[in-house]
Amino acid sequence: MNRTQRRAARRKSTNPAAQAENTNATIDQSKTMAAAAGASTMSEPEQQEATVNLTSDPTHQHSPISNAKLNANRANAQFSTGPQSSEGKAKSSMNAVKTGLTARTVLLPSDDAVIYQKHLDRFVAEHSPFTDTEKDLVQSIGDTNWRLLRIAPLEASIYAIGRETCANHPQLEQEKDPVKREGILLGIVYLAYRKELNNIALQERRLRNQLDTDLARLQTIQKERAMKQASDVICAKRILEKAKANNIEVDLAEFGFDFSIATLEAYFAKSERYSLLAGGRTLTFDSFLRTYATKKEAAAA
């Protein structure tokens, strides 16, 4: 197209009358095609809006579709509408799960629920969560660790499969030294499954970062709680001493404490025995509550 033709085309595109003529022509063409197909579901305003959108794009080129192809497309669309039931949708949402490292569910069908529960119990015993927030963090830490334990078997299985599929690689036939052959085979397997292995390494870094974050947050929360409890114990002890000296009955809950006088007195008694038997070491109120409150709850149940 020469310069004169390009200028004429630009003048035509900016001419309102020409645009209206093109739009009307396209609308008529659309109506004719829809009538031929026998199934036009769009109203006239909708057809005009759709046609204007098409004609306003200078890169759009309209290609008429045959009636046979249009009918075939409509028929094929009825065979793939996705899962309809809640069970089917749940299964569909898990289709992308291959390694279990990013699954929304922690347990895979092949996992043992009893072993998983024992796994969580170890973390509960190690971190002794007291509040609901701490329990949630310990649960997250245990679940993340459970996923990390899958990584080594996954990598081993990939290399095991690769050793079989790449055993007859041409490069191995040229090397007679068994040690060198083994090294070459590992390299071939890595190159063949590099995408899968790199994805596992990426997920491992993500999981370890999450584990470190949860551990740091748990330690911070527990440290702050222990410090607050120690301060509360000192304050409550002073209140009790003043109350006894002045024959005043008090209720610690009245002053905002979340433990009773009986709990505080039990702590003092146990702390003295612990200090005597442990050579002067002190028993923290936090440690006392973990055992005393647990036993008290068990006795009440």
Q: For residue range 110-121, what is the model confidence (pLDDT) as tens digits?
A: 788 899 999 999
Query: Residue 233: pLDDT above 80?
Result: yes
Check residue 141 and give its pLDDT.
96
The residue ranking higher by pLDDT, 289 or 63, is 289
- pLDDT > 90 in the chain, percent: 29
pLDDT digits (tens, 9 = 90+) for 163-217: 888 888 888 888 788 888 889 898 999 999 999 999 999 999 999 999 999 999 9
First to last CA, the chain: 91
Contacts of residue 288, defined as CB under 8 A and 6 or more positions apart, other chains included, come to 266, 267, 270, 271
Check residue 134 and give its pLDDT.
94
Residue 137, class by beta-carbon neighbours within 10 Å (0-12 exposed, 13-18 middle, 19+ buried)? buried
Pick the range with the lowest mean pLDDT from 14-28, 49-63, 117-131, 197-211.
Answer: 49-63
Check residue 288 and give its pLDDT.
84
Query: Residue 51: pLDDT above 80?
Result: no
Query: Residue 76: pLDDT above 70?
Result: no
Check residue 284 and give its pLDDT.
85
Q: Are 60 and 54 in contact (CB under 8 A)?
A: yes
Check residue 195 and give its pLDDT.
93
Query: Residue 74: pLDDT above 60?
Result: yes
Place of tokens 């009955």: 249
d(CA 254, CA 256): 6
pLDDT digits (tens, 9 = 90+) for 277-287: 888 888 888 88
pLDDT digits (tens, 9 = 90+) for 126-176: 998 988 999 999 999 999 999 999 999 999 999 999 988 888 888 888 878
Query: Residue 268: pLDDT above 50?
Result: yes
Contacts of residue 34, defined as CB under 8 A and 6 or more positions apart, other chains included, come to 40, 42, 47
Q: How high is the mean pLDDT of the chain?
A: 76
